[in-house]
Amino acid sequence: WNGIMKIAEKTKIIKKLTRILNPLINFLFPELKTQEKIRNEIAMNMVANILGLGNAATPLGIKAMKSMQEINPDKKVLSNSMVTLIVLNTASIQLIPTTVIAIRMSLGSENPTNIIFPVWIATLCAAVAGITATKILIAKSEKIIKNKNEKQKNLIRNKKKN
């Protein structure tokens, strides 16, 4: 699967898929609007997850994380986009849960694909819940940081006045 994803990466398929995913990527990763390379890596990771290619999605996710770390101003703290990608990968929305289908087939299931619809529901719910919680926590943490910075500025101003 990694080889197939590498071939897809070198064709126009990824550009088309990235264009399709752009509105979602813009919402999920607003810090990366000008980072086309990283956005493409995230799109590749998302496509691999959606297609149920977990073995290909993992190295693509790691590649995207490394690229985000390169532009991360605080190397000791995950950026908001990095946290969002981790949550998105953990939820792992899948249209074709290949691993689960393969396991069900190997165990002799009469209908190994009847798991598809429940997987769609479960992964979609997990993704929505995870992204919602992430966005709420990011907003709260930014507010806390802003208040902390304002308090520090006020302390400095007061010290200068005295």
Q: What is the pTM of this model?
A: 0.77
Structure tokens, 152: 């520090």
User: Which residue from 136, 57, 59, 137 is spatially nearest to 92, judged by alpha carbons?
Assistant: 57
CB atoms within 10 A of CB 22: 13
DSSP string, 13-41: HHHHHHHHHHHHHHHH-GGGTT-HHHHHH
CA distances in angstroms from 27 to 22, 70, 85, listed in the order given: 8, 21, 12
Q: Is 87 helix (H, G, I), strand (E, B) or coil?
A: helix
- Each residue's pLDDT tens digit in the chain (162 positions)? 556 666 666 777 767 877 888 899 999 999 999 998 899 889 888 888 887 777 778 888 999 999 999 999 999 999 999 999 999 988 878 788 888 888 999 999 999 999 889 988 998 999 999 999 999 999 999 898 888 888 888 888 888 776
According to the model, what pLDDT value does residue 70 have?
A: 95
**Tokens 């249209």, residue located:** 95
